[in-house]
Amino acid sequence: MGCAGLLAGGQAPAALTVLYDGNCRVCLRATDWLKQQPTYLPLYFVPAGSAEARHRFPQLDPRTTLKDVTVVADNGGVYRGSNAWIMCLWALRDHRALAYTLSTPGNAPKARKFVAFLSRHRSLLGS
């Protein structure tokens, strides 16, 4: 599918909001890392399941956003799991090429498996 296939309606977003588990050390570390990176577009961070998240994104199930990282684009796109991580990388100046690489048909299944593994074992990785 490639990154272009991930973009809602083929239109690139102007901003992304990352919904992350604020009680997960791995998620907090990843969020801190993302905040330090130079970006092509603004990244906003909101704890998943929070009052702010429920207010801003009432259409999203808070339990689902706590289970898998979720990215909401200002153009209406909603990305979960590996697609959410690929969109985060796509927003970063130093990692957009990696996002395109991970989104290719040959690599996307590997990215999905890797993110699923991290998600299942994040409590073990967060110590």
| Per-residue burial over 27-41, b = 16 or more CB atoms within 10 Å of its CB, e = otherwise | bbebbeebeeeebee
Q: Is 125 left (phi over 0), alpha (psi -120 to 50) or beta?
A: alpha
> How many residues does this entry show for the chain?
127
For residue 80, the surrounding DSSP H or E stretch is strand 78-80
Token pair 């799991």: residue: 81
Residue 118 confidence (pLDDT): 61
Structure tokens at 24: 């997960």
pTM: 0.83
* 3-class secondary structure, 72: strand
According to DSSP, residue 92 is labeled: B
pLDDT digits (tens, 9 = 90+) for 47-105: 999 999 999 999 999 999 998 899 999 999 999 988 999 999 999 999 899 899 888 88
Res. 126: pLDDT tops 60: no
List the domain boundaries for the chain: 14-125
